[in-house]
A and B are shown apart, each in its own frame.
Chain A
Amino acid sequence: MLTIKNLQAGIEGKRILNGINLDIKAGEVHAIMGPNGSGKSTLASVLAGRQDYEVTGGSVEFLGKDLLELSPEERACEGLFLAFQYPVEIPGLSTTNFIKTAVNEIRKYHGEKPLDAVGFLRLMKEKMALMNIDQSLLSRPLNEGFSGGEKKRNEIFQMAMLQPRLAILDETDSGLDIDAIRIVANGVNKIHSKENAVLVVTHYQRLLDYIVPDFVHVLYNGRIVKSGTKELALELEEKGYDFIKNEIDVTEQVG
């Protein structure tokens, strides 16, 4: 589904990603972990097409297309979804209206007719039940005055509504208490299927107790330095990132 080859990228002339290689297949859950400043969020932003970042090398293929050639909205329409670490507020714009616009823009991209009010409401009711989300949240202006937990739940609700092929969760657990993490993770698990894939970007292992990854990758200095199964996450939790850092730095010195 997603094949990243030797991806290099940076911001304002500063290189952050130094050759990422990653292969994600439909149905898989991947986790990317790493210390602060290792490039986790940069990777998420580059995949989503945030324009502050500049890609300087490598390739990304998404569902047979050259992802890097697509605009951010085209990537979204192709089925790439980013759950933001800091969802933005848009005052006065109701969350429902926003999601309706997004749903219909994506339908338009695929040559489908826009959902009418009834059809949209039906879809929304269905996903609200699935995500256990309250109507009152959706009538409020987008993310305005939302608590941290509400913002993240809203992200996951949007994911349910847009039904992406690949969902990237960028530090979705940051700033959430354990109950909120559980709610958000349950939402993700309900949406996850054989057809779609999830890429969880996180600093801590605890989210992975609820969203169980098939693969865990450790990002350090803009490269994936270690890959493994979920046990790797536990090992990291136990030993901290220093053990990886030491391992790598020693290797590099020898090299």
Chain B
Amino acid sequence: MCYLFIIQNRGIIKKGSVYTFLYKQVRIFVAMKTETTQLHKTNGMKDGLSPIENAVLNDYKYGFVTDIESDSAPKGLSEDIVRFISAKKNEPEWMLEWRLKAYRHWLKMEEPQWANIKYPAIDYQDIIYYSAPKQKINPESLDQIDPELRRTFEKLGISLDEQKRLTGVAVDAVVDSVSIGTSFKKQLSELGIIFCSMSEAIQEHPELIKKHLSSVVPITDNYFAALNAAVFSDGSFCYIPRGVRCPMELSTYFRINAENTGQFERTLIVAEEGSYVSYLEGCTAPMRDENQLHAAVVELIAFDNAEIKYSTVQNWYPGDKQGNGGIYNFVTKRGICQGINSKISWTQVETGSAITWKYPSVILKGDNSIGEFYSVAVTNNHQQADTGTKMQHIGKNTKSRIVSKGISAGVSNNSYRGLVHVNKKAVNARNFSQCDSLLLGDKCGAHTFPYIEVRNNTAVVEHEATTSKIGEDQIFYCNQRGIDTETAVALIVNGFAKEVMNQLPMEFAVEAQKLLAISLEGSVG
């Protein structure tokens, strides 16, 4: 009958100390904040920059704009715009009502201010809420897609053809809000799997959408979720029928394209009894001067004995070195382990965006269900990230595991914020959390805000946290073996993030490593 709560700082520099708490109370509420900022150490360098900083201060490699004509709504948000979007997408009446309800609720809400991020007020009337690439006909195959667009994907090294041929990944590409190509659909449909754009699902599978949409993230859930519900442009829908194991990794590539366009995707994945699916979401965006708002919603539902694995690699434009531009990324991701023995696993590699506000969560409702959260978050230059997870233990014998690796460089701030909540009825709940921070340079910050609420005295909750810094001595050691500083930083960071990277499906692991390298060349190896 005890709770174990450990905050530990180990690593190259030993900052802070080891705390071990043994609690007998029935409820624990802890908010820990660790801030570490390193003192500057000058080594008689001419330009005053350490090799790490030099390696880190690099340009965003994925900045380019695809020249495609857009069919856009006027700026601003009103009931008319919501109607415009709904009409544009030829939606049924119930969908419009759903959107309007969300919009009316949103009007009454206030933007959340509690996150450890700072940004100028967003003018919601200065955003274009709908933009679709103009295409004459709906493409039936990848060959029909606008060649300019395909070149964009190729620059990113994710040619649809290549992915289709080599990896067997079904790709549903969302460029500026509208699905432009879907592959492997036939193969999947033979198994009864539905994998299509959200717009298509609303038309083709209204019963499923009515039943599940907003069942995990209600339209009133939070400010950004309500906004998303009102104006979401597209997204992916995935339905795995009973007993089916999805034979391939499902993948979607989101991309923000037209200037001043908020991108509001909505993704819904339903895994029926005994089914399994692994879903990959990858994101990159072209370079922009103006901040772009992104507020996505992802909902996952796992029934009895079902498993959903959701992996994200996010590399949106983080802004320039002075902190101008970049994507504002306010995302609500939540899954529910509805059935017994079900499992939901979130893995994320977050390297982009000027601001990241994101807490992929799991509601552990079914007995024996398992929730996992593996995260690597990189911030560089002026980037800010406040990210983490929520694990809500409701069913008996539920387990959750949190592994968060934060990497800060430049003058960025990286915060882990997590809640482990154990309900009164959640007998024998188990949680293990590990939050590690790595600092590059001396002007960045790493923060940890773990909240633990335990209302059942059979629960065991563990928390470990460490903060370390890439040392000049580590770099020198690598240099002395013939490895240049940039490669050394990449090696060290990939080592640090390994536990999370190992969770990624093969197809993503390579790209994610490249991303870390680019972000750490341009942020962290």
Contacts and interface: CB of A to CB of B under 8 A. Distances in A.
Given A51-B45, A101-B491, A92 B479 contact: no
Interface stretch (B168-176, B199-207, B348-356, B494-502): B494-502
Interface string A86-101: 0111111110011101
A93 B484 contact: no
Given A90-B495, A92-B498, A92-B499, A77 B480 contact: no
Interface string A21-45: 0000000000000000000000000
Interface residues of B, number: 29
A237 to B, nearest CB: 30
B43 A52 contact: yes
A92 B482 contact: no
SS of B interface (majority): helix
B8 to A, nearest CB: 14
A16 to B, nearest CB: 15
Interface in B393-428: none
A52 B480 CA distance: 14
A11 to B, nearest CB: 9
Contact of B487 (A52, A81, A84, A101): A101
Interface in B462-498: 468, 471-474, 476-485, 487, 491-492, 494-498
Contacts of B498: 92-93
A67 to B, nearest CB: 13
Given A102-B481, A105-B487, A50 B476 contact: yes
B324 to A, nearest CB: 33
A109 B482 contact: yes
A97 B487 CA distance: 12
A61 interface: no
Contact of B473 (A75, A76, A77, A88): A88
B95 to A, nearest CB: 47
B474 A73 contact: no
Given A88-B473, A90-B492, A92-B495, A71 B483 contact: no
B44 A54 contact: yes
Contacts of A98: 478, 481, 491
B491 A162 contact: no
B471 A88 contact: yes
Interface residues of A, number: 35
A158 B473 CA distance: 17
Contacts of A89: 12
B485 to A, nearest CB: 8
Contacts of A90: 474, 477-478, 491-492, 495
A105 B495 contact: no
B484 A73 contact: yes
A48 interface: yes
Contacts of A77: 482
A106 interface: yes
Interface string A156-195: 0010001000000000000000000000000000000000
A51 B491 CA distance: 21
A51 B494 contact: no
A106 B482 contact: yes
Given A88-B473, A90-B495, A91-B495, A76 B480 contact: yes
A91 B496 contact: yes
A72 interface: yes
Interface in B16-56: 43-45
A73 B487 CA distance: 11
Contacts of A97: 491
Contact of A92 (B43, B44, B473, B494): B494
A58 interface: no
A76 B487 contact: no
B436 to A, nearest CB: 9
B231 to A, nearest CB: 42
A105 B480 contact: no
B495 A102 contact: no
Given A92-B495, A92-B499, A87 B477 contact: yes
A89 B477 CA distance: 9
Contacts of B494: 92-93
Contacts of B485: 73
Nearest to A84: B477
Nearest to B468: A91
B481 A51 contact: no
A49 B481 contact: no
A106 to B, nearest CB: 4
B495 A49 contact: no
A19 interface: no
A76 B471 contact: no
Contacts of B496: 91-92
Contacts of A87: 477
Contacts of A114: none
B495 A88 contact: no
A73 B477 CA distance: 10
A162 B44 contact: no
Contact of A101 (B468, B480, B483): B483
Which 8 residue pairs across A and B have the least CB separation, nearest first?
A92-B495, A93-B495, A72-B479, A102-B481, A76-B482, A92-B498, A106-B482, A105-B482
Interface of A: 48-52, 54, 71-73, 75-77, 81-82, 84, 87-94, 97-99, 101-102, 105-106, 109, 141-142, 158, 162
Given A87-B477, A92-B495, A142-B495, 9 more contacts: A52-B43, A72-B476, A73-B479, A84-B480, A90-B474, A101-B491, A102-B483, A105-B483, A105-B487
Interface of B: 11-12, 43-45, 468, 471-474, 476-485, 487, 491-492, 494-499
23 contacts: A49-B480, A54-B44, A72-B476, A72-B480, A73-B479, A73-B483, A76-B479, A82-B480, A84-B477, A88-B473, A90-B478, A90-B492, A92-B494, A92-B497, A93-B492, A93-B495, A97-B491, A98-B481, A99-B481, A101-B483, A101-B491, A105-B481, A141-B495
